């Protein structure tokens, strides 16, 4: 919808009205078309101002409409008519002008932005390109290099940057709409020829070809296999090399391909998934909109190792004052140095002073008495964590929230040590914690809704995407990782090499394959977990078969590698060889090849050729199967939660939507059939046995992922 008003005798004010972001739904496009026609026909109207209701210009096309048939006026002719009109149209940009919203502004003859407005063409993040002339008008307005960067990244920019680039004509701190009306009155008699962006010639840099090629290489590297960024580069090339009309045809053709692609569907699903996880709920019925978080002004972090350092940085960067506690002086100084260096680097980048006054370091747990919240990040050792939680409950004030960063230990056990189990939750960050966006907030049996709300809200304040999950070994992310890693290990036993498995996974779109990732995070992390779980180490009886544990197939290769002191990058070798301890460049290691051959011979295993499809099917489908189990158990609230965890925490390619969305895309029946096939071949691997939820979904005709929550709810209520 759009409201029309005739003001100041000669100006037509057209206001987009479609809360919350005035997206360009069919009704809004209809409203704009009608209002603009009316203004152009009315002889008393000399100029037009376009603005959005509630201080928001326009958030772009209505993404919800993409799933259905396109109705209402088409974008491109609507925008062309505005630009071609003989009366000046001024866009008054408050809040945001994104995607189709910015394209609407680009076809106006002038653009006035409020100083707090954000602008951008984020279509690429939805698997699309700006197909309402964005790829053709923006290069004409601001040149090729800046357009390429904005269109291929989808970055939102400030009004000030937009002014510098020449996207807007003026930035104001006042009401942009009022300023635009005054502006319109001043320009109403001026000629419009030079203001029609589509009529301008593109200024091409002399190194155009090199620039386009470099950008193409960069975008392919940034999102391996993603098709939208590639199309964006091609569309800008068309702007640089073809007349406007032909460029628009190229833009339209490529949009047609992208619009109907699985990648666009995946990315649009993911857009809403990210928003869905913020609307958490607990089995008790408590949820995001009926539970108030407590304010957190002062926090403590216990343990300044890999994780504690990043967590401290994130807290301080969010304006929370922190007491960081380490066990010994040497560890304290090492942690302190690292935290301060990161904070100073961050501040330098922003050109501000590092907020070091928010930081205190201590060797004494008694120094944290007054804090609102504690995050424990000591070694993954239950006995140590129990001892710390016991101390915490005696030194902290009665309402302090006690959180643990454990990767998968039982939150309820830790809660039971304290006198306040309702105030214990998991805050599971991902390494490096000051950079990774994901936070799993783990609710135990006794965690109060207020404790969950507080951790979720603190996560948001720290710039994280927080997902509420239930308590079980590994929670959601690491729980699903176990069968994935297990399959990768079995594949080595059966004849694959680490580089072969990694290559298949990296070609699929992961930033790193399972073995390269393991080398990066340290093989000892998993080794410690397996020892804690009694799968390896002195607790295993000598009579136990090395390839069997608790009646199931077990792959001991990773343990044997660790026993050789090969712990990954930090020791200069793991699954791969590095030029030095701490080296980053992974090279295939002949030692590993020999080791695998000897291992197979020792256990009477015959190596066979394993193709990429088998690697992907076994690794990905076993992970997905565990995702279904987490949904079935209520550990993950919905498929969106699983997908957001995997994209933000485990580098699952975003254009594949996340594992659960991917399962739907591949076809649930196919996932089920493959799991059944592999389970039949490996009956001693329980993680390959298809989950009940997967079976039921298939039996119900494989509903789309958006309907699974309702399905799971019904399934549970029938139990």
Ligand X SMILES: NC(=O)C1=CN([C@@H]2O[C@H](COP(=O)(O)OP(=O)(O)OC[C@H]3O[C@@H](n4cnc5c(N)ncnc54)[C@H](O)[C@@H]3O)[C@@H](O)[C@H]2O)C=CC1
Ligand Y SMILES: CCCCCCCC(=O)CC(=O)SCCNC(=O)CCNC(=O)[C@H](O)C(C)(C)COP(=O)(O)OP(=O)(O)OC[C@H]1O[C@@H](n2cnc3c(N)ncnc32)[C@H](O)[C@@H]1OP(=O)(O)O
Of 307 and 451, nearer to ligand X (C-beta) is 307
In this chain, which stretch among 2-10, 93-101, 396-404, 576-584 interacts with ligand Y, using CB under 6 A?
93-101
In the β-sheet with 298-302, what is the strand arrangement from edge to edge? 359-362, 321-325, 298-302, 373-376, 401-404, 424-429, 438-443, 465-470
Euclidean distance between the first and the last CA atom of the chain, given in angstroms as a whole number:
46
256-285 positions binding ligand Y, by CB under 6 A = 259, 272, 275
Number of chain positions touching ligand Y (CB under 6 A): 26
Q: Is 20 in the site for ligand Y (CB under 6 A)?
A: yes
Residues 6+ apart with CB under 8 A from 396: 368, 369, 371, 374, 402
Of 81, 169, 380, 506, the one binding ligand X (CB under 6 A) is 380
Residue 305 binds ligand X (CB under 6 A)? yes
The entry of ligand X, ligand Y, none near residue 595 (CB within 5 to 8 angstroms by kind) is none
Helix (H, G, I), strand (E, B) or coil at 582: coil
- Segment near ligand Y (CB under 6 A), from 95-103, 321-329, 352-360, 471-479? 95-103
Decide if residue 130 touches ligand Y (CB under 6 A): yes
Among the listed ranges 20-28, 360-368, 487-495, 597-605, the one in contact with ligand Y (CB under 6 A) is: 20-28
Q: Cβ 302 to ligand X, closest distance in Å? A: 5
- Which residue number, 98 or 202, has a Cβ lying nearer to ligand Y? 98
Alpha carbon distances (Å) from 69 to 26, 59, 259, 558, 703:
11, 20, 12, 52, 20
Nearer to ligand X, 200 or 306 (CB): 306
62 binds ligand Y (CB under 6 A): yes
Residue 124 binds which entry of ligand Y, ligand X, none, with Cβ cut-offs from 5 to 8 Å by kind? none
DSSP state of 352: S
Q: Which of 207, 6, 1 is nearest to 87 (CA)?
A: 6
User: Which of ligand Y, ligand X, none has residue 103 at its interface (CB below 5 to 8 Å by kind)?
Assistant: ligand Y
Between residues 31 and 574, which has the closer beta carbon with respect to ligand X? 574
Q: How far is CA 46 from CA 5, 6, 14, 168, in A?
A: 13, 10, 14, 21
132 binds ligand Y (CB under 6 A): yes
- Taking the complex as a whole, how short is the minimal distance between the CB of residue 66 and ligand Y, in angstroms? 8
Positions marked catalytic: 103, 123
Task: Closer to ligand X by CB, 388 or 561: give it.
Answer: 388
Binding of residue 518 to ligand X (CB under 6 A) = no
Which one of residues 219, 232, 302, 672 is an interface residue with ligand X (CB under 6 A)? 302
Q: Does 63 bind ligand Y (CB under 6 A)?
A: yes
Residue 475 CB, nearest approach to ligand X (Å) = 10
Q: How far is the CB of 630 from ligand Y (least distance, A)?
A: 23
Q: Which is nearer to ligand X, 63 or 384 (CB)?
A: 384
418 within 8 A of 392, measured Cβ to Cβ: yes
Instruction: Please answer whether residues 46 and 3 qualify as being in contact, where contact means their C-beta atoms are separated by less than 8 angstroms.
Output: no
CB of 424 to ligand Y, least distance (A): 30
Question: Which of the stretches 7-15, 29-37, 204-212, 375-383 binds ligand X when contact is defined by CB under 6 A?
Answer: 375-383
Nearer to ligand X, 49 or 414 (CB): 414
Please, what is the minimum distance in Å from the beta carbon of residue 505 to ligand X?
19
Q: Is 98 in the site for ligand Y (CB under 6 A)?
A: yes
Place of tokens 């599971």: 428
CB of 483 to ligand X, least distance (A): 19
Of 5, 8, 54, 64, the one binding ligand Y by CB under 6 A: 64
Burial class (CB in 10 A: 0-12, 13-18, 19+), 408: buried
Choose, by CB under 6 A, the member of 59, 88, 449, 574 that binds ligand Y: 59
Let me know: does 251 contact 136? Beta carbons within 8 Å: yes
**Torsional sign, CA 275, 277, 278, 284:** positive
Residue nearest to ligand X (CB): 305
Q: Is 521 in the site for ligand X (CB under 6 A)?
A: yes
Q: Is 76 exposed, middle or buried (0-12, 13-18, 19+ CB in 10 A)?
A: middle
β-partners of residue 324 are 301, 361
At residue 506, the 3 state secondary structure works out as helix
How many residues are listed for the chain in this entry? 719
CB of 592 to ligand X, least distance (A): 23
> CA torsion, points 68, 71, 76, 77, in degrees to nearest 10?
170
Q: Applying CB under 6 A, does 425 fall inside the site for ligand X?
A: no
DSSP 547: T
Would you say 436 or 671 has its CB closer to ligand X?
436
Indicate whether 303 belongs to the interface with ligand X (CB under 6 A).
yes
122 binds, among ligand Y, ligand X, none (CB under 5 to 8 A by kind): ligand Y
The listed partner (ligand X, ligand Y, none) that binds 521, CB under 5 to 8 Å by sort, is: ligand X
Cα 712 from Cα 426, distance rounded (Å): 25
Binding flag, residue 306, ligand X (CB under 6 A): yes
Mark 593-621 as b/e (b = at least 16 C-beta within 10 Å): eebbeebbeeeeeeeeebeeebbbbbbbb
377 interacts with ligand X by CB under 6 A: yes
What pairs with residue 98 in β-bridges?
Answer: 120
CB 469 within 8 A of CB 440: yes
Q: Which is nearer to ligand Y, 130 or 555 (CB)?
A: 130
**How many Cβ atoms are within 10 Å of 591's Cβ, its own excluded?**
13
Strands 89-93, 47-52: pairing is: parallel
Inter-residue contact 692 to 698 (CB < 8 Å): no
Contact partner at residue 302 from ligand Y, ligand X, none, CB < 5 to 8 Å by partner kind: ligand X
436 binds ligand X (CB under 6 A): no
CA distance 172 to 170: 7
Q: Which is nearer to ligand X, 239 or 311 (CB)?
A: 311
CA 409/CA 389 separation, integer angstroms: 13
Nearest CA among 445, 447, 443, 444 for reference residue 466: 443
Q: Which is nearer to ligand X, 429 or 662 (CB)?
A: 429
Where does this chain touch ligand X (CB under 6 A) — which range of 44-52, 191-199, 210-218, 399-407?
399-407
Nearer to ligand X, 347 or 431 (CB): 431
428 in Cβ contact with 475 (< 8 Å) = yes
**In 3D, which of 475, 442, 486 has the Cα closest to residue 623?**
486
Q: Does 49 bind ligand X (CB under 6 A)?
A: no
The one of ligand Y, ligand X, none whose footprint includes residue 99, by CB under 5 to 8 A per kind, is ligand Y
Contact (Cβ atoms closer than 8 angstroms) between residue 486 and residue 531: no
Task: Please choose, out of 292-300, 380-388, 440-448, 490-498, the segment that lies near ligand X by the rule CB under 6 A.
Answer: 380-388
User: Which of ligand Y, ligand X, none has residue 669 at its interface (CB below 5 to 8 Å by kind)?
Assistant: none
* Segment lying near ligand X (by CB under 6 A), choices 378-386, 459-467, 505-513, 557-565: 378-386
CA angle (487, 607, 538) in 5-degree steps:
55
By CB under 6 A, residue 52 contacts ligand Y: no
Contacts of 199 (CB under 8 A, 6+ apart): 193, 244
**Residue selected from 13, 36, 264, 307 as contacting ligand X according to rule CB under 6 A:** 307
**Contact residues: ligand X, CB under 6 A:** 302-308, 325-327, 331, 377-380, 384, 388, 405-407, 429-431, 521, 525
**Contact residues: ligand Y, CB under 6 A:** 20-21, 23, 59-64, 75, 96, 98-100, 103, 122-123, 126, 128, 130-132, 255, 259, 272, 275
């Amino acid at each position: 919808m759009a409201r029309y008003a005739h003001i100041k005798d000669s100006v037509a004010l057209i206001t987009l009205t479609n809360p919350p972001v005035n997206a360009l739904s069919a009704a809004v496009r209809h409203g704009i078309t009608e209002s603009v026609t009316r203004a152009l026909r009315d002889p008393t109207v000399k100029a037009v101002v376009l603005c959005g209701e509630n201080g928001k210009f326009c958030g772009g096309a209505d993404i919800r409409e993409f799933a259905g048939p396109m109705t209402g006026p088409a974008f491109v002719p609507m925008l062309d008519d505005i630009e071609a009109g003989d009366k000046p149209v001024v866009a008054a940009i408050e809040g945001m002008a994104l995607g189709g919203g910015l394209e609407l502004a680009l076809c106006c003859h002038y653009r006035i932005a409020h100083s707090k407005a954000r602008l951008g063409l984020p279509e690429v993040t939805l698997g699309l390109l700006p197909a309402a002339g964005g790829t053709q008008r923006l290069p004409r307005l601001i040149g090729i290099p800046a357009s390429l960067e904005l269109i291929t990244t989808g970055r939102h920019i400030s009004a000030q940057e937009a002014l510098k680039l020449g996207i807007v004509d003026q930035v104001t701190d006042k009401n942009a709409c009022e300023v635009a009306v005054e502006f319109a009155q001043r320009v109403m008699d001026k000629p419009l020829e030079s203001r029609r962006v589509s009529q301008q010639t593109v200024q091409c840099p002399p190194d155009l070809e090199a620039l386009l090629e470099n950008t193409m290489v960069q975008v392919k590297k940034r999102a391996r296999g993603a098709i939208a960024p590639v199309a964006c580069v091609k569309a800008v090339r068309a702007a640089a090399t073809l007349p406007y009309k032909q460029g628009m045809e190229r833009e339209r053709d490529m949009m047609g391909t992208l619009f109907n692609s699985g990648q666009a569907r995946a990315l649009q699903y993911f857009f809403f998934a990210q928003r869905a996880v913020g609307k958490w709920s607990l089995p008790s019925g408590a949820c995001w909109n009926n539970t108030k978080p407590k304010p957190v002004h002062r926090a403590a972090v216990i343990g300044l190792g890999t994780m504690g350092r990043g967590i401290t940085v994130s807290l301080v960067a969010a304006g929370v004052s922190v007491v960081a506690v380490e066990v010994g002086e040497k560890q304290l100084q090492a942690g302190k140095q690292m935290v301060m260096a990161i904070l100073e680097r961050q501040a330098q980048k922003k050109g501000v002073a590092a907020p070091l006054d928010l930081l205190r370091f201590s060797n004494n747990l008694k120094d944290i008495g007054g804090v609102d919240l504690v995050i424990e990040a000591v070694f993954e050792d239950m006995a140590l964590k129990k001892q710390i939680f016991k101390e915490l409950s005696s030194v902290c004030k009665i309402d302090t929230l006690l959180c643990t960063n454990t990767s998968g230990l039982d939150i309820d056990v830790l809660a039971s040590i304290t006198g306040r189990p309702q105030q214990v939750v998991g805050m599971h960050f991902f390494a490096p914690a000051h950079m990774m966006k994901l936070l799993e907030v783990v609710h135990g049996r006794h965690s109060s809704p207020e404790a969950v709300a507080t951790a979720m809200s603190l996560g948001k304040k720290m710039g994280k995407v927080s997902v509420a999950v239930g308590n079980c070994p590994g929670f959601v992310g690491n729980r699903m990782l176990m069968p994935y890693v297990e399959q990768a290990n079995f594949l080595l036993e059966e004849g694959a090499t680490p580089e072969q498995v990694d290559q298949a996974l990296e070609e699929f779109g992961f930033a790193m394959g399972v073995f390269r990732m393991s080398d990066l995070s340290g093989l000892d992390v998993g080794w410690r977990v397996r020892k804690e779980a009694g799968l390896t180490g002195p607790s295993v009886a000598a009579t136990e078969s090395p390839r069997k544990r608790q009646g199931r197939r077990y792959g001991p290769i990773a343990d044997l590698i660790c026993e050789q002191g090969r712990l990954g990058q930090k020791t200069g070798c793991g699954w791969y060889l590095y030029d030095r301890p701490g080296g980053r460049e992974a090279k295939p290691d002949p030692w590993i090849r020999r080791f695998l051959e000897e291992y197979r011979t020792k256990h009477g295993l015959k190596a066979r050729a394993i193709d990429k499809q088998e690697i992907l099917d076994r690794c990905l489908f076993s992970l997905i199967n565990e995702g279904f189990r987490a949904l079935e158990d209520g550990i993950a609230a919905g498929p969106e939660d699983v997908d957001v965890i995997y994209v933000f925490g485990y580098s699952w390619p975003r254009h594949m939507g996340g594992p659960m969305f991917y399962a739907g895309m591949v076809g649930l029946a196919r996932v089920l059939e493959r799991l059944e096939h592999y389970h039949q071949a490996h009956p001693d691997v329980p993680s390959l046995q298809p989950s009940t939820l997967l079976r039921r979904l298939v039996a119900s005709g494989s509903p789309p992922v958006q309907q699974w929550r309702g399905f799971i709810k019904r399934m549970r209520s029938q139990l």
